[in-house]
């Protein structure tokens, strides 16, 4: 009997939601387990690094790596899995574009360390102790905490991307089927539809053709009407600039899309594009009026780059006004 294809799952700077999404396959997971040999899945069972090291180079069919890359340990594991694997899939928003952890790119390393270890309200640290990478004497070492958050393809070569925070089980199932079929799409493809979310949004018909904005509202500031397009209600929804495929689940939960699937393949910077689409339709024509309307979006970087900051064109905030 021929060997079953070998796969690995790994999590970098991750919340664990992507791992859960695999479990969310529910009964379908039995089909997966039957079709492949899982050689490495530390979240699920007691796998060690040496389990990966003993695999021959290219011995894995695919490594599905989720989470952003922040520490040297994550880099090391990513590079190791890259060697050992024929294909690497960047799984979930963090691996795809940096994800929510990517918002840390608005701060530099020192700002983060100082806040986490000293300034945060619940921290007591009179000695101003900070983590040290090594004590010497062969004692324990800590991985290096890098200066910025990276998407997976900024560290290793990536073959495919499965978008979403987390990816939806339906798309995971389809992706596995594709990878096992041998009929592989072009390298670098994002495994999902390539049109904006509005295409599958049930509220599309309620969006007026002549929508123009005088003010925006954050979700907690208004009662969001069900069944009416969120943008039409002045709530910033990333849907138009976000790849579809998720079934518009957030909209079904009466909340706006926040852009976790990233942009379509024709767009190089999702945040810039949604900025363009929304700003273009501001009603005012004079600078003061325009500014007044746009002031109701208090945090453009956080809003437009919620998942995609490391993967954006600028990647991170440049240290103090450069």
Partner 1 sequence: MPERNGHDAPRIGFYVCHCGHNIAGTVDVAAVAKFAATLPNVVVARDYKYMCSDPGQELITTDIREEKLNRIVVASCSPLLHEHTFRVATQKGGLNPFFFQMVNIRENVSWVNDDGKAATAKACDLVRAAVRRVAVHRALETKHVRIHPDVLIVGAGISGIHAALTLANAGKKVTLVEREPTIGGHMAMFDKTFPTLDCAACILTPKMSAVKNHPNITLWSYSEVTEVSGYVGNYTVKVKRKPRYVSEELCVGCMECIDACVYKEGKTPDEFNQGLSKRKPVYIPFPQATPQVVLIDPETCIEFKSGRCKKTCVEKCDRNAIDFKQKEEIREINVGAIILSTGFKTFDAKRIPYYGYGKFPNVYSSIEVERLVNASGPTSGELILRDGRRPKTVGIIHCVGSRDKNTNRWCSRTCCMYSLKLAHLLKEHSHAEVYNFYIDIRAAGKAYEEFYDKLLEENIHFIRGRVAEVTDWCARPEEKGKLIIRVEDTMIGVVRRVPVDMVVLAVGMEPNADAQDVRRMFNISCSTEGFFLERHPKLAPVDTFTDGIYIAGACQGPKDIPDSVAQAGAAAAQALSLIDAGEVELEPNTAYVVEEDCSGCKSCLAICPYSAISRDEAKQKAVINEALCKGCGTCVATCPSGAIRQNLFEDEQIFSEIRGLLEADEPILTGGEA
Partner 2 sequence: MTTTAEQANGWEPRIVAFFCNWCTYTAADLAGVSRLRHAPNARIIRVMCSGRLDPQFVLDAFARGADGVLVGGCHPGDCHYMEGNYKALRRVRLLERMLDGMGIHRDRFRLEWISASEGEKVKTTINDMVARVRALGPLALPAKFADWDREMDELEHAVAAQTEDVHA
Residue 315 within binding range of partner 2, rule CB under 8 A: yes
Is 160 within 8 Å of 190 (Cβ atoms)?
Answer: yes
Cβ neighbours for 132, distance < 8 A, ≥ 6 positions apart: 142
Residue 271 contacts partner 2 per CB under 8 A: yes
Which residues, other chains included, contact 296 with Cβ-Cβ below 8 Å and sequence gap of 6+?
215, 216, 217
CA atoms in the 13 A half-sphere facing the CB of 189: 12
Mention every residue, 6+ apart, whose C-beta is less than 8 A from residue 37.
3, 4, 5, 6, 7
- DSSP E strand boundaries for the chain: 6-11, 37-40, 60-66, 69-71, 85-91, 145-150, 160-162
Look at residue 266 and give the partner it binds from partner 2, partner 1, none, a contact being a CB closer than 5 to 8 Å depending on partner kind.
Answer: partner 1
Residue ranges in 68-107 that form contacts with partner 1 under rule CB under 8 A: none
The CA R_g of the chain, rounded to the nearest whole Å, is 22
- Indicate the Cα dihedral angle 237, 240, 242, 248, nearest 10°: 70
Q: With binding defined as CB under 8 A, does residue 162 bind partner 1? A: no
Omega within 30 of 0 (cis) for the link into 166: yes
| CA–CA gap between residue 242 and residue 193 (Å, rounded) | 10
Q: Are the beta carbons of 25 and 172 closer than 8 angstroms?
A: yes
Tell me how many helices (H) and strands (E) the chain has. Answer: 11, 7
Q: Which is nearer to partner 2, 65 or 80 (CB)?
A: 80
- d(C-alpha 188, C-alpha 197), whole Å: 21
Query: Binding partner 1 by CB under 8 A: which of 244, 245, 256, 262?
Result: 244
Q: How far is the CB of 253 from partner 1 (least distance, A)?
A: 20
Cβ count within 10 A of residue 11: 23
Looking at residues 59 to 78 of the shown chain, list those that interact with partner 2 (rule: CB under 8 A): 72, 75-76
| Residue 119 within binding range of partner 2, rule CB under 8 A | no
Q: Which of 96, 203, 273, 306 binds partner 2 (CB under 8 A)?
A: 273
Which of residues 22, 304, 306, 310 is near partner 2 by CB under 8 A? 304
Q: Is 204 in the site for partner 2 (CB under 8 A)?
A: no
Asked if 121 is part of the footprint of partner 1 (rule: CB under 8 A), the reply reads no
Kindly state the smallest distance separating residue 226's Cβ from partner 1, in Å.
20
Report the partner that residue 190 touches, choosing among partner 2, partner 1, none (CB closer than 5 to 8 A by kind): none
Partner that binds at residue 159, options partner 2, partner 1, none, CB closer than 5 to 8 Å by kind = none
Among 38, 224, 277, 290, binds partner 1 (CB under 8 A): 277
Please report whether residue 123 would count as binding partner 1 according to CB under 8 A: no
Q: Is 181 in the site for partner 2 (CB under 8 A)?
A: no
Tokens standing for residue 290: 């325009």
Residue whose entry in the numeric block shows the structure tokens 């006004």: 321
CA 168 to chain centre: 13
Residue from 154, 178, 206, 228 touching partner 2 (CB under 8 A): that is 154
State the nearest-atom distance from the C-beta of 268 to partner 2, in Å.
Answer: 5
Q: Which residues bind partner 1 (CB under 8 A)?
A: 151, 153-158, 186-188, 194-199, 204, 207-212, 239-241, 244, 263-268, 273-274, 276-277, 280-281, 311
Q: Which residues bind partner 2 (CB under 8 A)?
A: 53-54, 72, 75-76, 79-80, 83, 106, 144, 146-148, 154-155, 267-269, 271-273, 275-276, 278-280, 282, 284-287, 290-291, 294, 297, 299-301, 304, 312-322
């Amino acid at each position: 009997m021929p060997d079953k294809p070998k796969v690995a799952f790994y999590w970098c700077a991750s919340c664990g939601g992507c791992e859960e999404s695999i479990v969310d396959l529910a009964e379908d997971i039995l089909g997966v387990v039957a079709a492949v040999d899982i050689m490495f899945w530390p979240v699920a069972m007691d796998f060690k690094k040496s389990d990966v090291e003993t695999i021959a180079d290219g011995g894995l069919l695919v490594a599905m790596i989720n989470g952003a890359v922040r520490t040297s340990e994550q880099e090391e594991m990513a590079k190791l899995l890259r060697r050992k694997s024929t294909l690497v899939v960047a799984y979930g928003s963090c691996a795809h574009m940096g994800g929510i952890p990517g918002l840390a790119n608005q701060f530099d390393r020192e700002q983060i360390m100082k806040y986490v270890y000293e300034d945060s309200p619940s921290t007591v640290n009179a000695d101003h102790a900070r983590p040290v990478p090594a004590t010497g004497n062969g004692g324990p070492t800590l991985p290096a905490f890098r200066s910025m958050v990276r998407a997976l393809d900024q560290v290793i070569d990536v073959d495919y991307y499965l978008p979403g925070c987390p990816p939806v089980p339906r798309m995971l199932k389809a992706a596995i089927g594709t990878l096992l079929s041998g009929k592989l799409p072009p390298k670098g493809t994002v495994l999902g539809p390539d049109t904006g979310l509005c295409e599958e949004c049930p509220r599309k018909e309620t969006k007026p053709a002549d929508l123009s904005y005088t003010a925006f509202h954050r979700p907690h500031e208004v009662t969001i009407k069900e069944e009416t397009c969120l943008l039409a209600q002045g709530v910033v929804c990333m849907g138009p600039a976000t790849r579809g495929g998720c079934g518009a689940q957030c909209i079904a939960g009466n909340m706006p899309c926040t852009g976790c699937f990233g942009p379509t393949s024709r767009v190089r910077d999702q945040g810039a594009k949604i900025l363009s689409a929304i700003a273009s339709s501001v009603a005012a024509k004079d600078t003061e009026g325009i500014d007044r309307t746009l002031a109701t979006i208090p945090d453009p970087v956080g809003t437009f780059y919620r998942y995609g900051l490391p993967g954006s064109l600028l990647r991170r905030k440049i240290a103090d006004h450069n």
